[in-house]
Amino acid sequence: MKTIQLNNGIKMPQLGYGVFQIDDPAQCEQSVLDALQTGYRLIDTAACYGNEAAVGKAIAKSGIPRTEIFISSKVWIQVSGYKQTMASFQKTLANLQTDYLDLYLIHMPYGDYYGSWRAMQELYRAGKIRAIGVCNFLPDRLVDLIASFDIVPAVNQIELHPFSQRRALRALMAKYRITPMAWAPFAEGQHQLFTNPTLTTIGAHYGKTAAQVTLRWLKQSGVVAIPKSVHLARIRQNFTIDDFALNANDMGKIDQLDTGQPLILDVASCREAYRLHHITYVQ
């Protein structure tokens, strides 16, 4: 499993398994177990997904040493702030049946995320978290957080796929060595990603699917990806991306698919709505 080194020196698997929208506990537990048995060693969950306990059960059942599994979770909007984040973190540890996290993220840049970051810095320094980071932070909020605290986020988990490549944001992140982590790497199937002519034509040359080409493009771009599937065949297929490499021409063709806009979550618009109406938005 190829790893990527974060800005604090720890190594993180570059391909992981995400569990967003796997709501059935039994299905989530089995899917995570399938992913671990396939070879995945990064599992990404979140408090608001409601499936941390199922993830914890699968990890325990797998028999794989805890030190070999990289677990990422997130603190949600309603529990932002120092005290609530501390309490939420303890609940996350209990759900996941572990005494530390490899990566803990602020889920959205709303609410008292300053308080959350203070708590996360404290937990990090106490050795309870190996790396801390954020999700869905645009340049203004990211730079402000960096300027206001001692610890630079190690990761920014963002919508990132061939149709929304976030070049300006990634350039800023590169300046601070913040690793991009792609949620919805398949764009939730939008723009017919799985049958896109550019991706399928490239894939045909290597005997690969559009999904595998997408994951390989992300990997060669220095991005961590966390694809989700509850189907064992797809879980295995998504993992099989190290037996081919895209050439510069392939990479250039995929780069041209960028629309320059998010397709799934417009963080700036949601942030304004949250400010005005205190509406909760779920990733």
By annotation, the residues acting in catalysis are: 49
Max Cα separation, the chain?
A: 54
Q: In sequence order, what DSSP letters do the residues of the chain get, joined into one string? A: --EEE-TTS-EEESB-EE-TT---HHHHHHHHHHHHHHT--EEE--GGGT-HHHHHHHHHHH---GGG-EEEEEE-GGG-SHHHHHHHHHHHHHHHT-S-BSEEEE-SS-SSHHHHHHHHHHHHHTTSBS-EEEES--HHHHHHHHHHSSSPPSEEEEE-BTTB--HHHHHHHHHTTPEEEEESTTGGGGGGGGG-HHHHHHHHHHT--HHHHHHHHHHHTT-EE----S-HHHHHHHH--SS----HHHHHHHHTT--SS-SS--HHHHHHHHHHH------
- β-pair partners for 17: 43
Structure tokens belonging to residue 142: 């990211």
Neighbours of 18 (CB within 10 A): 25
Tokens 């400010």 label which residue? 275
Among residues 51, 49, 59, 62, which one has the least CA distance to residue 27? 51
